[in-house]
A = this chain, B = another copy of it.
């Protein structure tokens, strides 16, 4: 998942380090503060397409913010959910920032506060729930298949209505635009509509899949994202920026105002300092990387990369589907392929979903052995994850993220061949029976 960084981005990063500007305040960032606001405006326009007058008014308006640049996706998700929580409780009349969660819920008469989202939400949401003091049990996990089905809208509607009737504050609904595990996309348009109807903040975690918006061919996969109240997008994924660059966009310029924090030596009241609106304090000038990328690669360049990565993904999944030693998890929504090695004897049962527990365990062990052996050989690399089947039992799947523009069909073929070589050798010498990788 660690992507290549284009040479001009490396040069910009070098300049950032040399200048070492601090975006917390204007005095230590100079033009950086103005450029960061410009970059946030550009991304806001790409995702929300508000009229020109909107950007004329808000991009450089120090009393508002169109988003935050953060050092990672977890922080972007934390920003979104914590700002939504602030807004909901303050709108309900609580002095949340001063009084805290317990007192604010008591004062506003809510029994508890929850966040809703599909069960496959990124695990950073668990961290967010815990940090905010809501607790992981206050994450109402929705069944992704159910939600994507014909009755999804009614089910979601009923769940929110039921919770609200019980006196529960539904803070936010989180839609995933591409799970990091499997690239799966939630029904964003429907979720946006239901959330709006019940005045629930709609956050889209597009950390992984947001770049598909650049593609005219595939932007429709993210339909509904422009109705999100906030959006997470990670630069270190398909934007090819270095680790530690993420955005949280706010649909409403006033959202960040809710959490304004001031001090006497920076982020002063009325100042243009961006530190007023960010969870982080001192921050590097990562905005320049986003700016450079938009100027040099641009929407068209990203569209070409997204299209070519997805074409390669479809090619790889086709190779897997047509190879009798492998099983594809599902048709890839984005540029992630999940698949597994299946010995010939189990192929038919695996494809039909009729494996018994012993066979499932055997497949899991063999695929973990395969992944670790391939990692050890250092010729190529795929990661792995575990996905539940309909009975909740976990199956190991190899996980490949297609985002290197230099990857060819030949490379993809070689990866599968290396995996078969490893497994055939292991079946000869029975190494997979060794204690290290578990017994059959």
Contacts and interface: CB of A to CB of B under 8 A. Distances in A.
Given A103-B135, A282-B244, A261 B28 contact: no
Contacts of A262: 123
Interface string A233-270: 01010000011100000000000000101111111000
Nearest to A16: B242
Nearest to A244: B284
Contacts of A18: 5, 10
Interface residues of A, number: 83
A137 B100 contact: yes
B123 A112 contact: no
Interface of A: 1-5, 9-10, 13-14, 16-18, 20-23, 27-28, 71-75, 78, 82, 86, 96-105, 112, 122-124, 126-127, 129-138, 180-181, 234, 236, 242-244, 259, 261-267, 279-285, 375, 381, 383-387, 394, 399
B100 A134 contact: yes
Contacts of A399: 265
Contacts of A384: 265
Contacts of A103: 135
A124 to B, nearest CB: 5
Chain A binding surface SS class: mixed
Given A2-B20, A280-B74, A264 B132 contact: no
Contacts of A127: 261, 279
Given A244-B282, A261-B127, A283-B72, A27 B100 contact: no
Contact of A264 (B13, B86, B101, B394): B394
A244 B284 CA distance: 6
A21 B283 contact: no
A2 B28 contact: yes
Contacts of A129: 100
6 contacts: A98-B135, A100-B138, A101-B134, A102-B133, A131-B131, A243-B282
Contacts of A126: 261
A282 B73 contact: yes
Contact of A10 (B17, B21, B98, B263): B17
A3 B17 contact: no
A83 B327 CA distance: 42
B99 A20 contact: no
Nearest to A182: B265
A280 B133 contact: no
A181 B72 CA distance: 28
A135 B73 contact: no
Given A98-B135, A243-B21, A265-B384, A375 B282 contact: no
A382 to B, nearest CB: 10
